[in-house]
Amino acid sequence: MMIGEVAEKSGFSVHTLRYYEKIGLLPTSHRDGGGRRSYDDDVLRWLEFLSRLKDLGMPIRDRVLYARLRAEGDSTIEARRRLLQTYRDALAKRVISLTETLDVLDAKIASYDTTGTPLKGPRK
Amino acid sequence: MMIGEVAEKSGFSVHTLRYYEKIGLLPTSHRDGGGRRSYDDDVLRWLEFLSRLKDLGMPIRDRVLYARLRAEGDSTIEARRRLLQTYRDALAKRVISLTETLDVLDAKIASYDTTGTPLKGPRK
DNA sequence: CTAAGTGCTAGAGTGTGCTCGAGGTCAAGC
DNA sequence: GCTTGACCTCGAGCACACTCTAGCACTTAG
């Protein structure tokens, strides 16, 4: 696969993929005869996982750290586990908080719908 | 209340509060004799709500828009409702997606924890 | 009376995470 | 053999949301 296809399948732009490689989120690409990057399917699973880490709010420097540990092999499994555990716990809290926010919004929207005036009691 | 107290109670910095006023997230403050901003308790509830909007990912532009509509009074209730509804729906999807991510992380962490079969599992 | 503390403005600076542009190479179809 | 389009590098630029600085004014405790 060339970079354009990876971009299309992963949802990251070509620019972003090259940027990710530069900062160490993606391993140094294998190149074809013409110097172009050549990828195999594994990269798509890795990008999907990276995308989840990004989405849950892991900053890029920790994603890079995780990628570096991963590249170092099995000896870093414990470090990776601890890193993921930290973000997992934060995420669990965040899901709870966002669920509360969802309730707050629903209440607010309901107050707009029923009374036409926010934060007042129920209509008689 | 002066700005420092609002900062302490709301969790926003003094700098941020002045910035929020400048861009229209907070109404133009009343000033005391010495030209200092003076707030009443309402501002804390408003800041808490703004904080939720921020937390759910509403960009500052739309928070400003919401604040502007709110300042314009009851005639904008329908517009505000629509705005909140949009973000509520996105948030509902996001909560689902983050819950999935939580499962993904838990599975991954569990695979790291299985010391029984040393690392023959999927290595993403 | 004075020093510490808090406040003020305008505007510049910062960190994050991309995003884009200039100027070029390379492979394939017509 | 030329055009088209995807790729390359390097580095600058951008959007967002603050965050901080300089230089000054005001208030309050001792």
Residue A31 — very low, low, confident or very high, per pLDDT cuts 50/70/90?
very high
The pLDDT-based confidence of A121 (bands split at 50, 70, 90) is: very low
The pLDDT score that the predictor gives to residue A117 is 52
Dump strand ranges (E) for B16-79: 30-31, 37-38
Whole-number percent of chain A with pLDDT over 70: 92
What residues in A contact B94, CB-CB < 8 Å?
A: 98
Q: Tokens representing A88?
A: 């997992």
In tens, the pLDDT along B28-41 reads 999 998 899 999 99
Whether residues A55 and B97 touch (CB distance < 8 A) is answered with: yes
User: Average pLDDT over chain A, rounded to whole?
Assistant: 92
Q: Percent of chain B beyond pLDDT 70?
A: 92
Q: How many angstroms from the chain centroid is the CA of residue B29?
A: 21
Please answer yes or no on whether A81 and B56 come within 8 Å at the CB atom.
no
Helix (H, G, I), strand (E, B) or coil at B25: coil
Distance CA B56, CA A10 (A): 25
Q: Is A77 on the interface with B (CB under 8 A)?
A: yes
Q: Quick one: tokens of A113?
A: 């719908």
Q: Is the predicted pLDDT of residue B2 greater than 50, yes or no?
A: yes
The more confidently predicted of residues A12 and A117 is A12
What is the per-residue pLDDT across B7-27, written as a single tens digit (0 to 9) for each? 999 999 999 999 999 999 999
Q: What is the mean pLDDT of residues A37-65?
A: 97
- What is the mean pLDDT of the segment spanning B36-60? 97
At residue A93, the pLDDT reads 97
Percent above pLDDT 90 for chain B: 88
Residue B108's CB is within 10 A of a number of other CB atoms, namely 20
Alpha carbons B67 and B61: distance in angstroms, whole number? 10
Mean pLDDT, range B81-109, rounded to an integer: 97
Q: Which of A52, A56, A47, A49 lies closest to A20 in space, CA to CA?
A: A47
Whether residue B124 lies within 8 A of chain A, CB to CB, comes out as yes
Q: Does any CB of chain B come closer than 8 Å to the CB of residue A40? A: no
Domains of chain B: 3-113 (1.10.1660.10)
Say if residue B120's pLDDT is above 60: no
For the residues A68-79, what does the mean pLDDT come to?
95
| DSSP line for B63-102 | HHHHHHHHHH-GGGHHHHHHHHHHHHHHHHHHHHHHHHHH
* DSSP code, position A120: -
Taking the CB of residue B100, how many other CB atoms lie within 10 A of it? Answer: 12
Can you give the pLDDT at residue B121? 47
For residue A91, the chain B residue with the least C-alpha distance is B102
| Stretch B72-76: mean pLDDT | 94
**DSSP string of A23-76, one letter each residue:** HTSSPPPEE-TTS-EE--THHHHHHHHHHHHHHTT--HHHHHHHHHHHHH-GGG
> pLDDT tier at A123 (50, 70, 90 boundaries)?
very low
CA dist A111 and B49 (Å) reads: 15
* Residue A12 confidence (pLDDT) above 70: yes
Question: Taking CB atoms and an 8 Å limit, are A105 and B91 in contact across chains?
Answer: yes
CA of A15 to C1' of D12 (A): 14
Protein contacts of strand C with Cβ less than 7 Å away = A 13, 15-16, 19, 33-35, 54, 59-61; B 2-5, 7, 14, 18, 29, 31, 35-37
For testing the chain A interface, which of B48, B104, B106 should be mutated: the one with the most A CBs within 10 Å? B104
Q: Which position has the higher pLDDT, A113 or A21?
A: A21
Predicted local confidence at residue A115, as pLDDT: 62
